[in-house]
């Protein structure tokens, strides 16, 4: 499988970002997630494809660009669909299914068809659960940074509190991930990005 280079991925972001601000917001987040994942990779099981994790992190949120309206504002009401939109975008660009899946399978700690049905989410009814070790790492690393205004890094405790409102099963799933992968060094990331840790 062909894994795009960092430069190719950056060019893809630049091509699809509706505004320089959107690019800055989404691409910076993707880079922060990538650095968090690279720290976690050190502890990951041998055999995890580091190049694939890197590309997955840099690509995972590219679908967010499709949520910007003509007024340059993000449509937050359909935010959950950014994963599926990113999958479609990368498929249209000719990227492999393995790469497309990083977009559609990174939301929260994983969406089940039951979640989609019971919460009436604006995505096709299906399971969107990270399956490969690479998908799991991208999905997990994503939880430690938020594209909020201003962007922030989140500790495991902060994300656990956030995910709790989606049910105790989601919080438990996140805690299992914390046990398996540990936490990235957010102080170092916070220094290099200038984003606060909350
Ligand atoms: Fe993300």
Does the pLDDT at position 1 exceed 90?
A: no
pLDDT reported for residue 115: 96
pTM: 0.97
Encode pLDDT of 20-64 as tens digits. 999 999 999 999 999 999 999 998 888 999 999 999 999 999 999
pLDDT reported for residue 82: 98
User: 126: domain CATH number?
Assistant: 1.10.3210
Q: Give the count of domains, the chain.
A: 1
Instruction: Give residue 61 CA to ligand 1 midpoint distance, Å.
Output: 5
Report yes or no on 83 lying in a domain.
yes
Does the pLDDT at position 102 exceed 90?
A: yes
Report yes or no on 103 lying in a domain.
yes
Report yes or no on 144 lying in a domain.
yes
Instruction: Give residue 21 CA to ligand 1 midpoint distance, Å.
Output: 16
User: String of b and e for 12-51 (b: at least 16 CB within 10 Å)?
Assistant: bbeebbbeeebbebbbebbbbbbbbbbbbbeebeeebbee
Instruction: Give residue 118 CA to ligand 1 midpoint distance, Å.
Output: 23
Instruction: Give residue 60 CA to ligand 1 midpoint distance, Å.
Output: 6
Does the pLDDT at position 160 exceed 90?
A: yes
Report yes or no on 55 lying in a domain.
yes
Report yes or no on 142 lying in a domain.
yes
Enclosing domain of residue 85: 6-192
Instruction: Give residue 34 CA to ligand 1 midpoint distance, Å.
Output: 10
Instruction: Give residue 57 CA to ligand 1 midpoint distance, Å.
Output: 8
pLDDT reported for residue 106: 98
Report yes or no on 13 lying in a domain.
yes
Report yes or no on 198 lying in a domain.
no
Report yes or no on 161 lying in a domain.
yes
pLDDT band at 94 (very low <50, low <70, confident <90, very high): very high
DSSP string covering 109-166: T-B-HHHHHHHT-SS-SS-B---SHHHHHHHHHHTTEE--SS-EE--HHHHHHHHGGG
- State mean pLDDT over 147-151: 96
- State mean pLDDT over 105-122: 96
- State mean pLDDT over 101-113: 97
């Amino acid at each position: 499988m062909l894994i795009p280079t960092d430069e190719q991925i950056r060019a893809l972001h630049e091509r699809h970002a509706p505004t320089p601000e959107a690019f800055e917001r989404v691409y910076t987040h993707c880079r922060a997630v990538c650095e968090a994942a690279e720290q976690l990779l050190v502890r990951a099981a041998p055999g995890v494809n580091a190049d694939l994790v890197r590309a997955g992190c840099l690509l995972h949120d590219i679908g967010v660009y499709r949520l910007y309206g003509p007024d340059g504002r993000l449509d937050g009401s359909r935010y959950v669909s950014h994963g599926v939109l990113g999958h479609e975008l990368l498929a249209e660009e000719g990227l492999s299914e393995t790469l497309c899946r990083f977009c559609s399978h990174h939301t929260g700690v994983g969406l089940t068809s039951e979640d989609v049905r019971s919460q009436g989410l604006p995505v096709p009814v299906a399971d969107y659960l990270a399956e490969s070790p690479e998908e799991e790492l991208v999905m997990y690393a994503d939880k430690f940074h938020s594209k909020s205004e201003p962007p922030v890094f989140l500790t495991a405790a902060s994300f656990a509190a956030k995910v709790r409102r989606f049910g105790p099963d989601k919080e438990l799933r996140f805690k299992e991930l914390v046990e398996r992968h540990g936490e990235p060094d957010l102080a170092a990331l916070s220094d290099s990005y200038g984003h606060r840790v909350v």
